Structure 1
Amino acid sequence: MTPDTRFTHAAAALGCSFDGEIKAGGNYLPLRRDGHTLYVSGQVPRIANTVVVTGRVGRQVDLHQAQRAAKICTLRALALLQRELGSLSQVQQVLRMTVYTQSDEGFTQLSEVADGASDLLHEVLGEAGRHARTSVGVYQLPKNASVELDLIVAAQP
């Protein structure tokens, strides 16, 4: 199975479709390419025009819901990469991922939230999806999203 097929299956399993435009929320680019390096701007768990997982993790949102949010963010990032590269098989390596979790005071399972995104990258891209990572707890995220993540990716020469 190709990375593109695995991406389609993962999106369907989460009830997501990224057929429409994935817009930036302001005066910036959702993806910026510099040679073989691609920088994916922060992605929130938005499907169409709706942020589908909102609120503080550890209060309104449980760990499972936060992991689902991280997966949706990852799928949005992969959709952007697929459009830019023509195929996810052109991803040489995911270099780095940062995952921000809008967390309640005392919520410490930030790495476990990020595991949802890391596992999905590995599921879709195989070894090319293994990456360096930082997981950060924050007070607030855009549109009250529970999770936001960004990626740095190396493309095939």
Structure 2
Amino acid sequence: MSAEQKAGELGITFAPKEPGYLNLCVRTGNLLITSGHTSDLKGKLGDDVSVEQGYEAAKDCAIKILQSVHNAHGTIAGLKVLKLLGCVNSTLEFTDQHLVINGASDLLHELYGKDGDGFHARSALGFAALPTGAAVEIEAIFEIIDG
């Protein structure tokens, strides 16, 4: 089953989106590089947002990334996930950024396979603030391997 079919089974939808101020996903050669996608959840990990809420926010970011990739490329099938950069709005004392960004990684593993095209490099970093007060922001790089 393709990543797109699996996404459909999870209730992830892909509707066309009009271009905005920035390009949310650009293709160069056989790479798809996304802009940062922020969570709808606002707040700071280690203060008013729990790790579990952050995990779901990271998953939300991954869904938005997949929607932008689909909008730019026409499908999310035939891709290899190369790299995620996860940014977590967190207090100085909070050190579980990696557990938060697992929300995005776990979704991509589910769609592309943890031992296959979903096995990716990743950074999970803490930030004092993110745009619009978002709890999480993630960007991604995919390789087009089929198509």
TM-score under structure 1 length normalisation: 0.84
The within-5 A match list for 1:141-152 is 141-152=130-141
Aligned equivalent of 1:85: 73
- Unaligned runs of 5+ residues in structure 1 are 46-50
Q: Tell me which amino acid in the other structure corresponds to 1:73.
A: C
Q: How many residues align?
A: 144
CA RMSD of aligned residues (A): 1.7
The within-5 A match list for 1:56-135 is 56-91=44-79, 93-126=80-113, 127-135=116-124
Q: Tell me which amino acid in the other structure corresponds to 1:21.
A: K
Query: Contact (CA 8 Å) 1:97, 1:151: kept in 2 or not?
Result: yes
Q: Percent identity?
A: 30
Q: Deviation at 1:23?
A: 5.4
Q: Deviation at 1:17?
A: 5.0
TM-score under structure 2 length normalisation: 0.89
Distance 1:120-1:134 versus aligned 2 partners, 3 A rule: same
Instruction: Please state whether the residue corresponding to 2:137 is helix, strand or coil.
Output: strand
Q: Deviation at 1:18?
A: 4.9
Counterpart pick for 1:34 among 28, 33, 36: 28
Query: Contact (CA 8 Å) 1:18, 1:76: kept in 2 or not?
Result: no
Query: Contact (CA 8 Å) 2:85, 2:140: kept in 1 or not?
Result: yes
Query: Contact (CA 8 Å) 1:88, 1:125: kept in 2 or not?
Result: no
Query: Contact (CA 8 Å) 2:26, 2:72: kept in 1 or not?
Result: no
Matches of 2:13 and 2:92, distance apart in 1:
33
- Unaligned runs of 5+ residues in structure 2 are none
Aligned equivalent of 2:17: 21
Matches of 1:104 and 1:37, distance apart in 2:
34
